[in-house]
Amino acid sequence: MPKAPPARPRRESHAALVRRARQVDRLLAEAFPDARCELTHTSAFELLIATVLSAQTTDKQVNTVTPCLFARFPDAQGLAEADLVTLEALVKPAGFYHQKAKAIQGIGRCLLERFEGQVPRTMEDLVTLPGVGRKTANVVLGNAFAIPGFPVDTHVTRVSMRLGWVPTADPVAIETALTRLFPDDMWTMASHRLIFQGRYVCRARRPNCAGCAVAALCPSAGSFG
Ligand code: SF4
């Protein structure tokens, strides 16, 4: 759980906070011109399953699992009818394989029973699928369907708190706060940039403030000993 966020710069108005957030995003766009979803996928279905598998592990690790998984079970029907033990063996390198295998098989069955085998395109429907929360739903909406969504993961949470953008570690409150800082056509890319920033610079332990592109705009800069 991230530490309490630093205080926002004194007397920073909402308008000033928005200006600072947009400046940070522009600098992160320069620092990470290739920021993108790092989960390998070729369809909404593959992205949905890969994102569920990415809980508590790295995208790299998931990318070692999904080629074999999707070669054997390329669609909702395949997952729904798969042997659970086989599924568990395939997803085991991604960790928590009992829960994850059960969740993705449950997703296959739900897609088949309720959505004609297709991934639904609304937050309301996506979060009814097993193992799918708002973060996963926003990843799918933004990256597979180009429907605005602001995924809030552990990196977005940590970086937003250190930047003094949000007063809480609650992901839903953070999502709401961030969607007020950026117009909806920026949400998906702003989230990717924050994820890259958290993954490669503003790491949980020993953030690299000296090498950070947005240090001049960050109230936490240099405060990690
Ligand atoms: S200055 Fe440090 S704490 Fe602030 S965003 Fe950069 S790496 Fe993170």
Please check whether residue 71 lies inside any domain of the structure: yes
- How many domains, the chain? 2
CATH code at 98? 1.10.340.30
pLDDT band at 167 (very low <50, low <70, confident <90, very high): confident
pLDDT band at 225 (very low <50, low <70, confident <90, very high): confident
Judgement on whether residues 191 and 209 belong to the same structural domain of the protein: yes
Q: Which domain holds residue 161?
A: 14-36+149-217
Does the Cβ of 207 fall within 6 Å of ligand 1?
A: yes
Tens-digit pLDDT profile for residues 174-219:
999 999 999 999 999 999 999 999 999 999 999 999 999 999 999 9
Tens-digit pLDDT profile for residues 31-76:
999 999 999 999 999 999 999 999 999 999 999 999 999 999 999 9
Rounded to two decimals, what is the model's pTM?
0.92
Q: What tokens appear for 168 in the block?
A: 């809480």
Give yes or no for a contact between 120 and 105, defined as CB atoms under 8 angstroms apart: no
CA angle 175, 170, 195 (to 5 degrees): 55
Judgement on whether residues 50 and 140 belong to the same structural domain of the protein: yes
- Reported residue count of the chain is 225
Give yes or no for a contact between 138 and 132, defined as CB atoms under 8 angstroms apart: no
Q: What tokens appear for 199 in the block?
A: 């993954």
Residue to mutate, 25, 163, 196, ligand 1, most ligand atoms under 8 Å from C-beta: 163
The predicted structure's pLDDT at residue 117: 97
- Among the residues of the chain, which ranges form H helices? 14-31, 44-53, 59-72, 76-81, 84-91, 97-114, 123-126, 134-144, 154-162, 171-181, 187-200
